[in-house]
Amino acid sequence: MRAPLFVLGLIPLAGCAEMNFALDGQPTALACPVEDSLALRRQRMVSTALAEWQTFGGGVIDWSNGRREVLAEGIKETDPRVASDIRRYWRAVPTPLALQAAGNDGKSGPLDAPFSQAWSAAFIGYLACAAGVPAGDLPRNEAHFAYLDATLDGTPGFTAQPPEAETPQPGDIICGDRSAPEARLTSLLQRRAEKGIPRPMHCDLVVEVRDRQLRAIGGNVNDSVTLSLYPIDADGRLLRLPTPDAPGWFAVLQASYPPLPETISQR
């Protein structure tokens, strides 16, 4: 089953250039030009996510009934067809660990198994890079908690909000705790109290909102770039999912950029 593209059309990206290798053979960080138009930053994050999802074969996971149901399988991370794409995501993150992973099949160390280093945060970093979002608006890091913590007090581009108080829109980022269920955060205030302490998380980019359903794209979901369908209440707020493998929502990173046209977000 090939999932449809919904109502979002693709637009030209901001020009995130492919990178060269340094003299020692190691990859160098991607050049991330800044998009001056605030409206285009949000739009290009969504368009880039949709384009990458198509590249990975259009995988879809449905959480509408409170449990994980795979509707379509995407191209897996171990497939040679997407190796250069994952390297590109890592190169969008200018940290030593990320650049090492970019040149080493996603390994965090030379003796590790391929793709042992989760690349979901690198995917979000790449979306920001390709959309022309400045690093000061959304810092790029191999760990979700690092850029989320930067938004706790607000950056020029994003502010962390509790999911019970915020209705996510296309271009916003939704974040959940991936700790064991008994150890998960239940509020954004709890994260603020432990700010800076590493914690396993996952974040997706919202690409569309429909009646009782939010659609978001994330990297390293089912070992692919995957579209997830999440239930929302009548007011558009995320519902907490009861199954242990579901993300424990505790934050919406609300973009300060102008909203997308109403035709893109259908309620």
DSSP state for residue 179 in the 8-state scheme: S
Map out the domains of the chain as residue ranges.
38-255
| Cα dihedral 233/249/132/46 (nearest 10) | -40
Helix axes 120-131, 83-91, angle to 10 degrees: 70
Give pTM, 2 decimals: 0.89
Lookup: tokens for 240: 């907490």
Structure confidence by residue, pLDDT tens digits, 115-143: 888 999 999 999 999 999 999 999 999 99
**Mean predicted confidence (pLDDT) in 103-123:** 84
Output the CA torsion sign for 67, 169, 205, 52: positive
Read off φ and ψ for residue 5, nearest 5 degrees. Answer: -85, 0
DSSP strands (E only) in the chain:
59-62, 69-72, 158-161, 173-177, 201-210, 213-221, 224-231, 248-255
DSSP state for residue 95 in the 8-state scheme: S
Read off φ and ψ for residue 216, nearest 5 degrees. Answer: -140, 150
Residue-level pLDDT at 106: 81
Structure confidence by residue, pLDDT tens digits, 86-100: 999 999 999 999 998
231 has pLDDT over 90 = yes
CA–CA distance, 242 with 165 (Å, rounded to integer): 20
Structure confidence by residue, pLDDT tens digits, 199-227: 999 999 999 999 999 999 999 999 999 99
